[in-house]
Amino acid sequence: QVQLVESGGGLVQAGNSLTLSCAVSERTFTTYTRGWFRQAPGKAREFVSAISLSGGSTYYADSVKGRFTISRDNAKNTLYLQMNNLKPEDTAVYYCAARGGRRISAVARDYGYWGQGTQVTVSS
């Protein structure tokens, strides 16, 4: 009963910015904690960022801290990821995820709902 759809990916040059969106469709509002993960070719899925229900608490992987900003609009039931100063190593498929728990988690297996992903490619 929960669907997540990412959008906003694309091809950009290093140093540029990109904003990803994740539209959440659910029968009732139950996905309290949400986050972003990414997976590069041949590599395991890794944590990027997570946010609490109200947006008051956020957590970032060291590799993106200071460059990426996670936010959410509960009225629109949408999750965002503002990515600045993109680097070639940021190239990956980005996935949004959601879970019913209130505790922020950086572990992929803790999230029960996933989008299909959106491709982000950063050229050098």
Residues with Cβ within 8 Å of 14's Cβ and at least 6 positions away in sequence, in order, are 86, 87, 88, 122, 123, 124
Residue 58 has what pLDDT? 97
Confidence of residue 1 (pLDDT cuts 50, 70, 90): confident
What pLDDT digit, counting tens, does each position of 5-52 carry? 999 999 999 999 999 999 999 999 888 999 999 999 999 999 999 999
Residue 85 has what pLDDT? 98
Closest CA to 108 of 63, 57, 49: 49
What pLDDT digit, counting tens, does each position of 95-121 carry? 999 999 889 999 999 999 999 999 999
Per-residue pLDDT, averaged over 64-91, amounts to 97
How many Å apart are CA 77 and CA 69, to the nearest integer? Answer: 17
Residue 5 has what pLDDT? 96
Per-residue pLDDT, averaged over 82-105, amounts to 96
DSSP state string for the chain: -EEEEEE--EEEETT--EEEEEEEEESSS---EEEEEEE-TTS--EEEEEE-SSS--EEE-TTTTTTEEEEEETTTTEEEEEE-S--GGG-EEEEEEEES-SS----GGG--EE---EEEEEE-
Residue 112 has what pLDDT? 95
Residue 106 has what pLDDT? 96
Per-residue pLDDT, averaged over 44-68, amounts to 97
For residue 74, how many C-alpha atoms fall within 13 Å in the half-sphere facing its CB? 13
